[in-house]
Structure 1
Amino acid sequence: MKKWIGIIIVLSVVTAFSQAWYIEAVDTLGNVGQYASLAIDAQNRPHIAYFYADSAFLRYATWNGSTWEMENVDRNTGVGGVGLYASLALGPLTQRPQIAYYDMADGALKWAHLNDLDQWEYGVPFVGLDDVGQGCDIAIGVQGSDEIPHFAFYDVTTDYLLYARPLGAAWSRDTVDTMASDQISIALDPSGSPHIAYYANNGTEGFLKYAHLVSGAWVIDTVDYIAANNLGLYPDIVITSNNIPYINFYDSTTNRFKYARWTGSAWTIDVIDNSPGTGMYGAQILGSTYVSYYDMSNADLKYGYSKTYLSWHNESVDTTGDVGQYTSIALTHKKDLVYPHIAYYDVTNGDLKYATRIIKDVLPTVMVAPPKIVRPDSTYIPAVTVLNQGNTVAACSVTCVIKYQGLDVHHSVRMIDPPLNVDEETQITFDPWTVLGYNDAWYNVTFRTWMADDSVPQNDSLRDSVHATNTGIIEALVPLKLDIAVFGKDVVLSLPNATQGEVYLFDVTGSRRITLESGILSAGEHKYSLDKRALPNGVYFVRFSSPVANLTRKAILVR
């Protein structure tokens, strides 16, 4: 979906909200980066489609895990003039890229998709139409085992908004509205039905419109209109799991970035950023809601988020030169973390740039020792497993504190050295602990990580209890590791101890779809099946949320 509003060259690290942004130039070939469109695959790797203005080619960049790979997708047999209005989406089943774009040389809508042999295939859905394809946007649905592209685009000759999708070996095309423009955004609801937000202008005023398909007919609504004003520019739409549309757009009369949401009976209009000149090239994604946009007054890239849709937090991401046009945003869901990625155009240098939030998060995951039952007057070596689940190399200190009746009876500190790489796990051992001589005594054990600029301080502590007794058989049991895993259509949650919590599923928009279990979860393995759930094929995320840990795993559902 369009979300715009080599050797990696690290340009800067910008601190904001006690965190930082990692910023890099992805492509510096020439004047590149206009019409940037970003998507994140199931491995949390970014893909970007964009326009190479010097040669008028469509280009594509993807991160392979260690560097960026870039290529020309379409050069129109050397004539050029292809790649404007690039819109990228990944197939929900195959994760392969599909791109809708405008062929300026031929005045046509074009479509490129990467096949199973990693070769680009091309199509022109409608041959013979005069100048169609500007403002094109793509969304990919699933029908059985097939991935179906849906396109919304502008017919310059007639001023019409058009919609198309493949229907067998042919193409189906609808005229959605007879008044439109080249500023269009399309999204699919959970049933695969299209919803389109677009800007229209009658020559006197501009306004935001919305169309959705109901029982084969297009229903059109005016979302925001003020007489003699010009608003609704740079629209971007997302649809929640219960079919509720959310649209961000730019009001050029007041120079404000706005947000429209459907309440069930009417449209509510909010302001995302009150700063004058903000909101051009706006893009959003749900999860709660995250937006990226261009600050025209300061020529900066900005970012905002909201958990309530009523109060927004805004910050500048990149302020070096004139940056932030053609912005596109996507999210990574990594275990219990969510963080944004942004692609955008650097006007000053003519580069494609990329920014992501730096997340520092090292947390204790499993108490390895002491065992759950210990002997009085015996000595044990406490140990804990810690994990770096952030997206950057990180070091921290780890403490072990053991209390009896509220008083410290053991305190030990260790430094993690060398720092942990991303997703690296290690075991930390502490000074020996000698149990007091009391029989039938309970001890509280707390392991905690300490790190400057910790992005997720709420998961830094792991607490457990130990029972000292002289009776019964004491075994040094191997603890069950706290984890949640997805095996095809099955989900397995492993709990070393009972806890209050819930297990639920949400989709790529961040909308909750089903709750698998909620309440007091007993120690041991909990198994859930997604096979019989009323869910369409696609990519989902299973989340375990509790006071002791928050874990998220991807699930790709294919029937």
Structure 2
Amino acid sequence: MGYYTSLAFDGADVPHISYFDIDRADLRYATKVSGVWVAQVVDSVGSVGQFSSIAVDADGNPRITYYDKDHGDLKYAAMAGGVWTIETADSVGDVGFYTSLALDALGEPSVSYSDISGGGLKYAHKSGGVWSAEVVEPGFPVGTYSSLALEPSGRAHISYANIGLQTLRYAVQDGAGWSLETVDGSGSVGYYTSIQLAGGTSPRISYIDIAHRKLLYAARGSGFNWDIETVDQVTQALFYTSLKLDSEGNPKISYFDNEKGDLKFADSAVHLIAPAGGERWPAGSAQKVAWTGIGPVEVLISQDGGANYIAALPSPVTDHEVFIPVPSWTTTMGRVKVRRSSPLSSSECRGLLTIALGLTSPWWAKTIDAVGSTGYNPSLRLTPAGAPRISYWDLSARAVRFAARTGGVWNFETVQITGGSTTPTSLAISAIGIPSIAYFDNAARQLKYAVRVGGTWSSEIVRSLTVVGDHCSLALNSFGSPRIAYYESSPARLVLAAQAGVSWGTEDVDAGTDVGLYNSLALDNIGYPYISYYDGTNHDLKFASKAGATWTVETVDAAGDVGSYSSLVLDAGRNPHVSYVDVGNGYLKYATKAGGTWTIETVDFGGYVDGSTSIALDGGGQPHIAYYDAVTSRLRYASRSALGWSTDSVDPSAGGGGRNSLALDSDGNPRIAFQHIASSDLRYASAAIELSAPATAVVWPVGANRIVRWEGTGYANLWISTDGGTSFQMIAPGLSGGAYTLLVPRSPSTQCRVRLQRDFPYSASLCESLFEIKASVDLVAFRADPVPYEGGALVTWATNPGVGDLAGYRLEKAVGSGAFTSVLGLTSEVTYRDPGAIPGTQYRLTAVNGLGDAFVLGVATFRPRKPLAAGPLPYRGGDLTISFASSGGAAGAPALTEVILFDLRGRRVRTIARGPYPSGFQSAAWNGKDEGGRRVASGVYFLKTVSGGHEQSIKITVLR
């Protein structure tokens, strides 16, 4: 099986193969359907199918020419609507050897072939439903190894061998006849020819010199001469050449090396190896460009995606690796190209480059929860404001946990301590920011749903199970009602649960052992459910959808062991996009469906992909995938652009990312929650700029220093708004390092917001709530008190904002009707001792902010006070308020001070206050009781203070 093969691709790049089943002597055909090879018998009447040649028409229908050995006929098979039609194209002679089929612009077939009964090389064409055949060159053995190519006009070119003369021959239609010539008459040549037309008209031929064991290539040169080159030479034989030309006319030849038993490939083009696309190049740096191919090449660079290029080096180079200077550009559409002028060949990098000054990786990662063994099966979602929320399983606590970042701080809550085995968690956030989680309580063998309302988690049973559960996925419809897809192993089935009111209903989606593993649920805008999942029995990726009363189930990919760790998202047109793992090959794969057809792509061919995948779409509908490389033990990230896929490492430390969850913010920047396997902790990675301060409603005094904090890499600009975010003004460009001390501007408002914006890659972060910029200074306290036992005044003051947010204070003094004069210049002190103060002296306080603005706060008047006073007197009950002076100790230290009540006999009745007090006036209260807690009797008593060697006493009267 598998002889006389011929390969063609349709417009969707789907392969189609015709071949001869030597065991059954049948013509067979194979193609790939949804990633799976499907084969069928085309013709089984007699011994048929040798020398097959296949072509595919514009509608994707295969056409095949082949040899009918029993009748010696040239046969032709065409498929339409899934049905094969077979007809005889030529039956004159023993015809149908070495067929080569081509379709013209109208889809009509032409074929070259050999008549071994003596007719030589023949050519047949079908027009208007009728076949016509003609002899191109008669004689035997003429026409072996024929290969046909058509010009856009339909003019035929044929390469072939005259085995008798051992020459390579070439025929081209010339009016009503044929023009024939010998291309290579050196002997033993012309075997296994393959022809292509450069520019649609100029012939190129690959063939074998059988005696000298050479692969040769012939090209029509100027003046109708042929230029012949040796491509490869071995010590034994070469066979079976197949030639294709790229868009620039460069030949590519596949052939068989009998010496080593190898399939070989020869390529004359240049191919860029690095950069691949997706790299970040700092402007002004030197970066490597590498390629394969022969000849000097120009190295070019573009900042507009390849529309326009400039030379990266002053002259062409022959080395296959050079370092080029990166221009001082700022672009996300950089591209590199190498170009050889003769023969023309060029190659561009597949993806785009980001170029900017000081550019670094946008990724940063931090540990969120490292208490015990935790972080299993995380699920990440962003609130409508872009704040991250994560659900996960804490193995040490046997609990479902929830993490939320608020005000730049991560806060943690226990949703439920379930006990039992590990459970997946699936988190959803409603349109108003309410989180809910689906999970299994495996101790109770229940599927549960929890929601957080009013700061409290409450859970309910969705379904009781007979065995422990695994694999569940939660989604909310437009009304906030939950839907949960889950796998139930007994009985084995994939189930969808839906909440209606206060009750839950379930329906079976698919059934079978291990059918429904790694399920991922998405709802469209109408609320219809879509589920991707793994069929563990057949090792297939499957997809189920319901847009009415019944489920439609499809096998998306059945090529090997595929479909584990699937993740599903829908685009705006309700088209599904699925990421998943090809376990057999260790590939990351991606499937999408549009127009009823699934398209499958391999994203990462590394061969080491294992663990969960998580997919999200950006605003342009392009997919982004988080996944895990098991060999390097690293979390990776893949993103797709119009030019293809690019991949990147996320967490530089090994051991992270086996379980991950991806979300994109409104700017398209990825955020990923993942478990670091090596340390069993929960981590959070982000490629965005994320502000952490200011985070909550605060007041910023004008002229004060305030710190803006963030997490993120690269250079960012700081902006401020005083109208709630309607407009912004830049106040600090080019910031990095995660913190910036800001001098609060003179822009008072209660509607302030801060925005930090990075241009490349773009990311903007707003503070979580409004805050106030306040221009005024409030006077909290301002006193001028006598200095106990010494004379003069002690002036003290306090303000809001305090001295830490001001440039300082100025204090002035006025005596009597005189003018105020300065006694303190700009100072950060909050006290002033004036030994010369007299009663009535006034003091005026002025605050100065960091911008130099002055605020006169008030006036305090110095009034003498008695060193000991009490009231109300006479005392009749309640609290007696006592004012007393304390002298203070040395160097301003507090001094021991006592306030004591004595009776007329000098006996101590009560110590009312005792302790170290600073110099100044203090207050205390007496409740009318003695040391034993008994009410004192009516009478006359003495109140005495002792402080720093000073004593004062007054007489008080108690009346009961």
Could you tell me how far 1:454 is from its partner in structure 2? 5.1
Which of 640, 655, 658 is 1:306 aligned to?
Answer: 640
Q: Which amino acid aligns with 1:194?
A: P
- Greater Cα radius of gyration, structure 1 or 2: 2
Which of 328, 352, 370 is 2:682 aligned to?
Answer: 352
Per the alignment, residue 186 of structure 1 pairs with 521
Could you tell me how far 1:102 is from its partner in structure 2? 1.1
Question: Is 1:340 paired with 2:670?
Answer: yes
Could you tell me how far 1:20 is from its partner in structure 2? 2.6
Per the alignment, residue 86 of structure 1 pairs with 425
Q: Is the 8 A contact 1:232 1:251 kept in 2?
A: yes
Q: Is the 8 A contact 2:478 2:525 kept in 1?
A: no
Which of 471, 480, 495 is 1:162 aligned to?
Answer: 495
Question: Is 1:232 paired with 2:563?
Answer: yes
Q: Which amino acid aligns with 1:327?
A: N
Greater displacement, 234-243 / 174-183:
174-183
Which of 368, 373, 376 is 1:26 aligned to?
Answer: 368
> In structure 1, how many angstroms separate the alpha carbons of the residues matched to 2:637 and 2:585?
20
Per the alignment, residue 249 of structure 1 pairs with 580
Which of 463, 466, 475 is 1:139 aligned to?
Answer: 475
Could you tell me how far 1:392 is from its partner in structure 2? 4.7
Could you tell me how far 1:347 is from its partner in structure 2? 1.2
- TM-score when normalising by structure 1: 0.60
Could you tell me how far 1:75 is from its partner in structure 2? 0.7
1:165 alignment partner, SS class: strand
Q: Is the 8 A contact 2:375 2:683 kept in 1?
A: yes
> In structure 1, how many angstroms separate the alpha carbons of the residues matched to 2:762 and 2:688?
15
Could you tell me how far 1:417 is from its partner in structure 2? 9.0
Q: Is the 8 A contact 2:518 2:566 kept in 1?
A: yes
Could you tell me how far 1:248 is from its partner in structure 2? 0.6
> In structure 2, how many angstroms separate the alpha carbons of the residues matched to 1:397 and 1:389?
13
Identity over the aligned pairs, expressed in percent?
A: 27
Per the alignment, residue 66 of structure 1 pairs with 408
Question: Is 1:44 paired with 2:386?
Answer: yes
Per the alignment, residue 448 of structure 2 pairs with 110
> In structure 2, how many angstroms separate the alpha carbons of the residues matched to 1:268 and 1:425?
55
Q: Which amino acid aligns with 2:493?
A: Y
2:687 alignment partner, SS class: strand
Which of 598, 602, 616 is 1:285 aligned to?
Answer: 616
Per the alignment, residue 490 of structure 1 pairs with none
Per the alignment, residue 442 of structure 1 pairs with none
1:179-235, CA deviations, whole angstroms, 9 ceiling, x for partnerless residues? 214311000112111100000122xx4000000112121110000012xx2110000
Question: What are the equivalent positions in structure 2 for 1:307-456 lying under 5 Å apart?
Answer: 307-308=641-642, 311-333=644-666, 337-359=667-689, 392=712, 416=733, 455-456=760-761
Q: Is the 8 A contact 1:49 1:87 kept in 2?
A: yes
Question: Is 1:219 paired with 2:544?
Answer: no
Q: Is the 8 A contact 2:634 2:649 kept in 1?
A: yes
Alpha carbons of 1:34 and 1:397: their partners in 2 closer, same or farther (altered >3 Å)? closer
Could you tell me how far 1:52 is from its partner in structure 2? 0.6
> In structure 1, how many angstroms separate the alpha carbons of the residues matched to 2:517 and 2:716?
51
Q: Is the 8 A contact 1:281 1:327 kept in 2?
A: yes
Which of 432, 435, 450 is 1:97 aligned to?
Answer: 435
Question: Is 1:200 paired with 2:535?
Answer: yes
Question: What are the equivalent positions in structure 2 for 1:450-529 lying under 5 Å apart?
Answer: 455-456=760-761
Q: Is the 8 A contact 1:153 1:161 kept in 2?
A: yes
Q: Is the 8 A contact 1:57 1:82 kept in 2?
A: no
> In structure 2, how many angstroms separate the alpha carbons of the residues matched to 1:130 and 1:330?
34
Alpha carbons of 1:417 and 1:198: their partners in 2 closer, same or farther (altered >3 Å)? closer
> In structure 1, how many angstroms separate the alpha carbons of the residues matched to 2:679 and 2:425?
20
Q: Which amino acid aligns with 1:224?
A: D
Higher relative contact order (CA 8 A, sep 6+): 1
Alpha carbons of 1:346 and 1:397: their partners in 2 closer, same or farther (altered >3 Å)? closer
> In structure 2, how many angstroms separate the alpha carbons of the residues matched to 1:454 and 1:99?
35
Q: Is the 8 A contact 1:110 1:133 kept in 2?
A: no
Q: Which amino acid aligns with 1:303?
A: Y
> In structure 2, how many angstroms separate the alpha carbons of the residues matched to 1:100 and 1:174?
17
Alpha carbons of 1:416 and 1:285: their partners in 2 closer, same or farther (altered >3 Å)? closer
> In structure 2, how many angstroms separate the alpha carbons of the residues matched to 1:417 and 1:234?
41
Q: Is the 8 A contact 2:626 2:662 kept in 1?
A: yes
Alpha carbons of 1:261 and 1:120: their partners in 2 closer, same or farther (altered >3 Å)? same
Could you tell me how far 1:273 is from its partner in structure 2? 1.0
Q: Which amino acid aligns with 2:611?
A: M
Question: Is 1:123 paired with 2:460?
Answer: yes
Alpha carbons of 1:454 and 1:155: their partners in 2 closer, same or farther (altered >3 Å)? same
1:495-554, CA deviations, whole angstroms, 9 ceiling, x for partnerless residues? xxxxxxxxxxxxxxxxxxxxxxxxxxxxxxxxxxxxxxxxxxxxxxxxxxxxxxxxxxxx
1:164 alignment partner, SS class: strand
Q: Is the 8 A contact 2:670 2:688 kept in 1?
A: no
Q: Which amino acid aligns with 1:357?
A: A
> In structure 2, how many angstroms separate the alpha carbons of the residues matched to 1:59 and 1:238?
25
> In structure 2, how many angstroms separate the alpha carbons of the residues matched to 1:25 and 1:167?
39
> What are the ranges of 5 or more consecutive residues in structure 2 without an aligned counterpart?
1-278, 282-353, 355-359, 692-707, 719-730, 747-756, 765-960
> In structure 2, how many angstroms separate the alpha carbons of the residues matched to 1:458 and 1:31?
33
State the aligned residue count.
365
Q: Is the 8 A contact 2:403 2:410 kept in 1?
A: yes
Could you tell me how far 1:55 is from its partner in structure 2? 2.4
Question: Is 1:276 paired with 2:607?
Answer: yes
Per the alignment, residue 106 of structure 2 pairs with none
Could you tell me how far 1:72 is from its partner in structure 2? 1.3
2:443 alignment partner, SS class: coil
1:391-432, CA deviations, whole angstroms, 9 ceiling, x for partnerless residues? 65986799xxxxxxxxxxxxxxx985987979x99999xxxx
1:275 alignment partner, SS class: coil
Kindly report structure 1 stretches of 4+ aligned residues shifted beyond 2 Å: 14-20, 358-361, 388-398, 414-422, 424-428, 456-459
1:82-134, CA deviations, whole angstroms, 9 ceiling, x for partnerless residues? 76111101012x2111000011112221111101x21111011123x313642
Alpha carbons of 1:82 and 1:15: their partners in 2 closer, same or farther (altered >3 Å)? farther
Alpha carbons of 1:167 and 1:360: their partners in 2 closer, same or farther (altered >3 Å)? closer
Could you tell me how far 1:56 is from its partner in structure 2? 1.5
Alpha carbons of 1:340 and 1:130: their partners in 2 closer, same or farther (altered >3 Å)? same
> In structure 1, how many angstroms separate the alpha carbons of the residues matched to 2:631 and 2:544?
32
Could you tell me how far 1:45 is from its partner in structure 2? 0.9
Q: Which amino acid aligns with 1:293?
A: Y
> In structure 1, how many angstroms separate the alpha carbons of the residues matched to 2:425 and 2:501?
25
> In structure 1, how many angstroms separate the alpha carbons of the residues matched to 2:503 and 2:441?
20
Alpha carbons of 1:194 and 1:15: their partners in 2 closer, same or farther (altered >3 Å)? same
Q: Is the 8 A contact 1:15 1:21 kept in 2?
A: no
> In structure 1, how many angstroms separate the alpha carbons of the residues matched to 2:534 and 2:713?
44
Alpha carbons of 1:393 and 1:312: their partners in 2 closer, same or farther (altered >3 Å)? closer
1:262-299, CA deviations, whole angstroms, 9 ceiling, x for partnerless residues? 02122111011111112531101011321111001111
Q: Is the 8 A contact 2:589 2:601 kept in 1?
A: yes
- Report the aligned-residue RMSD: 3.4
Q: Which amino acid aligns with 1:87?
A: S
1:278 alignment partner, SS class: coil
Q: Which amino acid aligns with 1:118?
A: G
2:650 alignment partner, SS class: strand
